[in-house]
Structure 1
Amino acid sequence: MDIGTTSEQDVFTEELRILKAAKSDVAARKQPDPGQYGQLVDHYEKLLKTTMKLSRISDIQGRTLKEREQELKSAHAELQHMELLRRQLISDISHELRTPITSVQGYVKAFLDQVIEPGEAYLSMLYQKLLTIDQLITDLFQLSTLMANRHPLHFHPVPVGPWYNGLQTRFELEAAGKGIRIEFQPLRNETGHMSPQEQKLRIDQAKIDQVVTNLLDNAVKFTPSGGAVRLHGLLSERPPEATVLSRTETASDALRWFTLFVEDTGEGIDPIDMPYLFERFFRAGDVAKRGVSGAGLGLAISKEIVFRHGGQIGVDSEPGQGSRFQFSLPLHDGEPLLDVPQVPNR
């Protein structure tokens, strides 16, 4: 008798046993017409089949309801996350834009009241403030969309060796203008697996170049004239550790990694400031007093970009000994790397 699935037979074990026994009893009577007893057995079999079908439908509906419930929970969690990001963005805009906007407003009012003449120096200063506001808004928008996993990334395979070698001239002119040397070291390969020319990253190159630019820009800013900024890359079986290390719970578990180190010979970072370096708007020590520009968003943006690549970012530093920032990305040999939304471990 073919009736129901194995799981259903497990649930209706007793009923199926009774049906089997009754049908055997009917067959054993060897009568062409078993009469009302045989009809009763036939009706019982039909009823049992209908009950098992209803049970199957109920199970399917139950599973569907659980799936929908999980989808609703995920959607609710995402909405809560988006609302938190929205509030953060509004708070950041109102807090960070208030000072430059108030400054611009004050000068414009002074022009209108003829307190000062709108000369070239004042207009140039206002123009720079407006550029600062525009850049701040752009950075805030990018950071918010990255954190909300709404910033599209476009992954492509990029050979590690040529890409790394191309970094050598990235900041040479700017650094030379400040009396700073860019020291570039050959890429070290500790994987024992293919040459750097064969190994590939699967990245959004424009975004990873932005991370490199942020780190190099910071290194040049905080290195005094006569100092040096060193770049060196490493291919290894696991990403190196750092004093402060930021990574997501869903970071890649790749067997081979590329790490870029950007090291400066500046003043170093106070240990008190170290845990907060990758937070939005954080500016270590007396940065503002030293006239170093920036809103404190570059490292936060870099962290989100690296997270979206399944990587990690960190820093080592001691006061008076300079700083070494690093980020690590998984290496890939052609398998697809999907842009799967991740929730950073913040």
Structure 2
Amino acid sequence: MKSRFLIGLSALALLVLIAVQYVIITETYRTKKEQFDTRFGNLVKEGMSKFNSMDYNFDFDSVLFLLDDKAVAFMFSEPDSLSQTPGEIFHEILNQYRDPEYFLRDYISKAGVDPKFTYHLQVDELYLVDINFRQQVYPNGIQLPRAPASALLAGNFTHERNFFNISYGIYIDFVNRSKLILREMWLILVLYLCTLILVFTVFILTLRNMLRQKRLSEMKSDFINNMTHELKTPLSTISVASSSLGNRTIIESPERVEELSGLIKRQNKHLSELIDRILDINIWEKDQVKLKPEHLMLENWTRQLVKGFLLEQGKEAPEILLDIHLINETHMLDEVHMATVLNNLFSNAVRYGNTPCKIKLEVKDRDQCLWISVTDNGPGIKKEDLKHLFEKFYRGAEAKQRVVRGLGLGLYYVKQIVEAHGGNISVQSKPGEGTTFHIKIPTDDGPVTC
């Protein structure tokens, strides 16, 4: 519950941080946009003012004369006979006069700014002169092209003529406005992105570490419980056997005394092995395992090992099928440690397998590697357990459900020993289909790894 609360609180803090950063970026962008509009708005107005003060307007006189002619024609035309409204025609004629646009492009370019913009002319008012009175034509429900809301006003113009009055504005809309603003904000954006990545990475690593610590704590707790059970069993047996030896009836029976003494001896040996295994946990690392490799007659050694394991199991001995195909008779291996590897794999097959338990052991050498595989007919291993199978103290769901005794160290030892030999181990399993462990170890003249 505490871990969930901390995770939830951390996630909430991360979301709040992202929200705050987003607000800061948004406000910064808005401020930069206002500064952009002010700066470039003043620039285009200055340019337009210079244009008006120069001799650029003589061409515009011909435009005004053309508009006068159109206004006179409208005075003597029936409205229904026109294909275009007066407002549309006046807008079209004015928009063809692009000298202001050309001047502004040159002016803005000389100011060191990329002159990528669109030019817009927006008619605001238009009055045509009738013979008897001035009649407002625009605006009067007539929809003419309007400049975009993002466009900057370059200048307003009004022309009062004999036959018409018109007011219009020239607007400039920078198409790369966002690009220019973001270019000014690049440092803030980079810092924001780096901060976000850093915080998110720290959050993920912290979350992974918390989950790992939680799982490790559960595994250690499980290990302690199992270790307690493993230690109590031989101690209880020794205690009962010792008490029985004090019984006069048993003392008078040499067979019973010998039987109980043997039981105490076996349990004492088992207890010593458990304690040694627990004490050796810290030295079972790949770089600390001390190997004593020797030339083993591998086929003979394997058969003797299997025979000894079957004798140990007694009535619960599994059926072990051997499939040995060796090109070389001898291989350099640590006899004691390799015996631990195979005995652990056999023991797991018996402990978690079905009844009757069947095991297949394959040993062969090819491609300059020694290949060993152990297959059982057990219930298989769940996918979520496979990736943790060789971790220290880890015991899968199947072991917990069956209340199988164990410390969760066997497969960890197996992996460390195989890797100390320069090899690797993998597992292949599906629920209901049994399990196969594959071991590959380089031969004497083989590669460093297989």
Q: Normalising to structure 2: TM-score of the pair?
A: 0.39
- State the alpha-carbon separation in 1 of the partners of residues 425 and 386 from structure 2: 13
1:91-170 alignment, distance < 5 Å? 95=224, 99-100=228-229, 134-147=272-285, 149-170=287-308
Deviation at 1:93? 12
- State the alpha-carbon separation in 1 of the partners of residues 399 and 379 from structure 2: 11
The one-letter code sitting in structure 2 at the alignment partner of 1:230 is: K
Deviates more, 1:258-267 or 1:216-225: 216-225
CA distances 1:146-205 after superposition (whole Å, capped 9, x unpaired): 317444321212233333343442433455622631111232x5xxxxx332xx322211
Contact 2:426/2:438, CA 8 A, preserved across alignment: yes
CA distances 1:277-323 after superposition (whole Å, capped 9, x unpaired): 11111111141442422111111111111111111111111100010
Aligned to 2:444: 332
* Count of residues in correspondence between the two structures: 210
Contact 1:179/1:225, CA 8 A, preserved across alignment: no
Instruction: Call closer, same or farther: CA 1:119–1:137 in 2, change over 3 Å.
Output: closer
Aligned to 1:272: 384
Deviates more, 1:93-102 or 1:224-233: 93-102
CA distances 1:76-109 after superposition (whole Å, capped 9, x unpaired): xxxxxxxxxxxx9xx78995688559979xx9xx
Structure number with the bigger relative contact order (C-alpha 8 A, sep ≥ 6) is: 1
Indicate yes or no: 2:342 matched with 1:212.
yes
DSSP 3-state at the match of 1:212: helix
Which of residues 303, 321, 326 in structure 1 aligns to 2:415? 303
Aligned to 1:171: 309
The one-letter code sitting in structure 2 at the alignment partner of 1:317 is: S
- State the alpha-carbon separation in 2 of the partners of residues 186 and 156 from structure 1: 20
Indicate yes or no: 2:299 matched with 1:203.
no
The one-letter code sitting in structure 2 at the alignment partner of 1:332 is: D
DSSP 3-state at the match of 1:307: helix
Deviation at 1:221? 1.5
DSSP 3-state at the match of 2:295: strand
The one-letter code sitting in structure 2 at the alignment partner of 1:226 is: P
Contact 2:231/2:274, CA 8 A, preserved across alignment: no
Higher helix share: 2
Contact 1:269/1:319, CA 8 A, preserved across alignment: yes
Indicate yes or no: 2:296 matched with 1:184.
no
The one-letter code sitting in structure 1 at the alignment partner of 2:386 is: M
- State the alpha-carbon separation in 2 of the partners of residues 100 and 267 from structure 1: 25
Deviation at 1:220? 1.6
Instruction: Call closer, same or farther: CA 1:96–1:223 in 2, change over 3 Å.
Output: closer
Contact 1:207/1:305, CA 8 A, preserved across alignment: yes
Contact 1:180/1:223, CA 8 A, preserved across alignment: no
Aligned to 1:225: 355
Contact 2:331/2:444, CA 8 A, preserved across alignment: yes
Indicate yes or no: 2:411 matched with 1:313.
no
Contact 1:143/1:304, CA 8 A, preserved across alignment: no
- State the alpha-carbon separation in 1 of the partners of residues 397 and 222 from structure 2: 23
DSSP 3-state at the match of 2:379: coil
For structure 2, the 5+ residue unaligned runs are 1-216, 245-259
Deviates more, 1:169-178 or 1:212-221: 169-178
Deviation at 1:227? 3.5
- State the alpha-carbon separation in 1 of the partners of residues 393 and 337 from structure 2: 20
Deviates more, 1:211-220 or 1:91-100: 91-100
- State the alpha-carbon separation in 1 of the partners of residues 321 and 230 from structure 2: 40
Q: What do you get for the CA RMSD once the two structures are aligned? A: 4.1
Contact 2:286/2:416, CA 8 A, preserved across alignment: no
Deviation at 1:139? 1.6
The one-letter code sitting in structure 2 at the alignment partner of 1:146 is: W
CA distances 1:30-79 after superposition (whole Å, capped 9, x unpaired): xxxxxxxxxxxxxxxxxxxxxxxxxxxxxxxxxxxxxxxxxxxxxxxxxx
Instruction: Call closer, same or farther: CA 1:291–1:92 in 2, change over 3 Å.
Output: closer
Instruction: Call closer, same or farther: CA 1:282–1:210 in 2, change over 3 Å.
Output: same
DSSP 3-state at the match of 2:387: helix
- State the alpha-carbon separation in 2 of the partners of residues 95 and 176 from structure 1: 29
The one-letter code sitting in structure 2 at the alignment partner of 1:147 is: E
- State the alpha-carbon separation in 1 of the partners of residues 417 and 230 from structure 2: 29
Deviates more, 1:162-171 or 1:152-161: 162-171
Contact 1:267/1:322, CA 8 A, preserved across alignment: yes
Instruction: Call closer, same or farther: CA 1:96–1:131 in 2, change over 3 Å.
Output: farther
Instruction: Call closer, same or farther: CA 1:94–1:274 in 2, change over 3 Å.
Output: closer
Give percent identity, aligned residues only: 25
Indicate yes or no: 2:375 matched with 1:263.
yes
Aligned to 1:17: none
Deviation at 1:211? 0.7
Instruction: Call closer, same or farther: CA 1:232–1:96 in 2, change over 3 Å.
Output: same
Larger Rg: 2
Aligned to 2:90: none
- State the alpha-carbon separation in 2 of the partners of residues 317 and 334 from structure 1: 29
CA distances 1:125-157 after superposition (whole Å, capped 9, x unpaired): x99998776544322333321317444321212
